[in-house]
A and B are shown apart, each in its own frame.
Chain A
């Protein structure tokens, strides 16, 4: 049932939606009388077009799903924004400000970051003249509109200000927002730290709830492994990963379950420790369907510059598969931008001119399957794959990323998250994301070691894929 607070919050945005009741409740056979699931959302930054904003909003205002505007039977009860907490920590206290003669912020804004809804904590006591107050932060406005508690720390978000866990699920969206990097160029995102804080609360109380972790589990495979182990030990559903495995495909095809895959080439764009993770997830969600399921990766090598093209010429990755993957792209650059023409980027030999800094993530699976993720900044702007499958030829597709601001691929992910929260079972195994987390770390390690090939005994990860494809099709 809709609570009054949620009703008022939502109706301020879209009263006509409420008049159209069939839109409010559908999917996963919920009945409207079922109590809404209470959700805590933890993230780095609630800024316009941040991952946190696009994904968290789906649980506030609904999202397109299966041909309808789906309003999740979920009540967001608490939100933790790491950016606000870190800024509050760094800011001088009212006492320090008074000592230096600075004006103390008015009482209203010193009442917790929710402006009175939260506890009176220093986190919100940003003096108005301090630039630390992020004007782009949307969490305060959302809190007022939708009536959730804006919390100054993670345990508070799980307990909603009380002394027991008061949520039914946790959604975590950690992303870059001034976090430092290590010497391998990995951003030290606090995914593990967020998770551990939740687990401490779970263990304190002997009570767990389903947990979703957006994108990679951690920058560290060791930490990621610990997260999966903990979830197994405490028996709570843990799902993670990117939107690419679940978004629409052009065309609507998958690797036939149980087919023998000889080789795959995935093409994408973006930086190191950025959307290379999305490309690895897209690759993995296809390849895990091969004969025998996933049996792990024995070695990786990250090549850069001319070595990428040399590896192609030496047959390390297939030019035919690259050509096939690129035939799915709608965004060739270079002459297409100049005068609209179509281009066979491989046959024309133009790729090395377009791509100044290519990267190849070469992956050797334990069962002999080979895969390469080619990051081709300057040649294209979308994500495509082609795989050579015994008896099926080349299977190729584009992972369709509908444009900003809607970015409706994240609606596809929201549906999987909500499904896990409601059913307590995951649509695909977290081991996929454990492997992709480890692949990314290993590839960046290879880069750091001057592009050496590295054996990866730690990535002997076996799992079975879901029998049914899990990407958007209806």
Chain B
């Protein structure tokens, strides 16, 4: 089923994306397989070939034609099945890259966009089943917009026995400082502070937390409940200490994008009053793990434009903290280089036939996102998460973030 790493055969990959336009995930991910990218101090070309491409939504700004013109070994197919079979009757590739982000799809009643991760997965695994063979599967970002489908994707991957690897770049990008969460340590509280909106960047904040805390003593034990806070309720919870202020401060001290609260200053640490003025719509997902760990994912649009993490680790005098650094092509950089470690880890999966980090992390973060949006939709009620209490897994003891 998997590639033999000792053979000279270059794995052949199928890419299935929602859209292939400038600065969309499809472009960032597939371009790196086609054109290569800077890695470990050289310009790295993956030892594998994208041979087929399916683009769900094209239209204005579509780059797929330019890409296949420049890379004639890639062929665009009109259906996902043909992209995998290369027009034959059986699976004809050694790996699948799926980007279900972006594009225009309907919203759920709670406001999450119904990205077609699951629909793509169904069509792809139908080919796997029909061919009696499965291949490694990379799924960018979350699994699906509803829990049952997310769970089904993971279950199917186990049933058919193919590695499924996904998640956010936040888990694998540079850290500033370049530190790893100590394996097997005891942690009572953890927070991430980020920006963006619910149903999108909350996923990045959740992955920021989980790539770290899954390394705690005993591994991941599941989540019992979650409560979302917004607006005035957010600030009340802040002042009541629903999450530790000291940890939020520690995380913010790792930010390099703190909005100056006073007009003529360039770098100041804000007071709570200043934060309230800067952040009109703060969001917090506060949730309880079965082993007692309490985590809080904060979105503070207006205050920061990066993702930071802090945790209280037993035996450490001060909070453990870092920034998950995203070189961001919004004027700060031109390349979204955080896709490089995401693609590099996908390559490693295609080459070794082993997921580099457990898909259960992504299952948990996908479920937490859904629970967070649900809690907000139910008037910020605490929601019990019996489904997430069952997500238990062990981390990869090796570090998979960008360090070289």
Contacts and interface: CB of A to CB of B under 8 A. Distances in A.
B253 interface: yes
Interface in A243-271: 248, 250-252
Interface in A303-339: 323-324, 326-333, 336-339
A340 B27 contact: yes
B36 A344 contact: yes
Contacts of B335: 329-332, 336, 340, 342
Contacts of A344: 35-36, 43
Interface residues of A, number: 65
Interface stretch (B1-9, B91-99, B152-160, B319-327): B319-327
A61 B268 contact: yes
A48 interface: yes
A327 B404 contact: no
A405 B267 contact: yes
A248 B28 contact: no
Given A67-B319, A250-B174, A13 B333 contact: no
Contacts of B270: 14
B76 interface: no
B404 to A, nearest CB: 6
A473 B175 CA distance: 10
A403 B256 contact: yes
A368 B66 CA distance: 47
B329 A395 contact: no
Interface stretch (B131-139, B221-229, B258-266): B258-266
A347 B325 contact: no
Contacts of B254: 64, 67
B43 A474 contact: no
A58 B269 CA distance: 11
B250 A13 contact: no
A17 B41 contact: no
Interface in B323-376: 325, 327, 329, 332-337
A335 B63 CA distance: 13
A14 B271 CA distance: 6
B322 to A, nearest CB: 8
A53 B273 CA distance: 24
Contacts of B23: 340
Given A53-B266, A251-B402, A406 B256 contact: yes
A385 to B, nearest CB: 10
Nearest to B258: A406
Interface string A41-60: 00000001100011001100
Contact of B332 (A13, A62, A403, A472): A403
Contacts of A394: 41-42
Contacts of A347: 43
Interface string A134-172: 000010010000000000000000000000000000000
9 closest A-B pairs by CB: A327-B38, A402-B256, A396-B41, A330-B327, A405-B266, A330-B333, A16-B271, A344-B43, A252-B178
20 contacts: A16-B271, A20-B246, A23-B249, A61-B265, A69-B253, A248-B176, A251-B403, A327-B39, A331-B335, A339-B22, A340-B22, A340-B23, A340-B31, A340-B336, A341-B27, A342-B35, A342-B37, A402-B256, A406-B255, A406-B260
Interface of A: 13-17, 20, 23, 48-49, 53-54, 57-58, 61-64, 67-69, 138, 141, 248, 250-252, 323-324, 326-333, 336-344, 346-347, 381-382, 386, 394-396, 400, 402-408, 411, 472-474
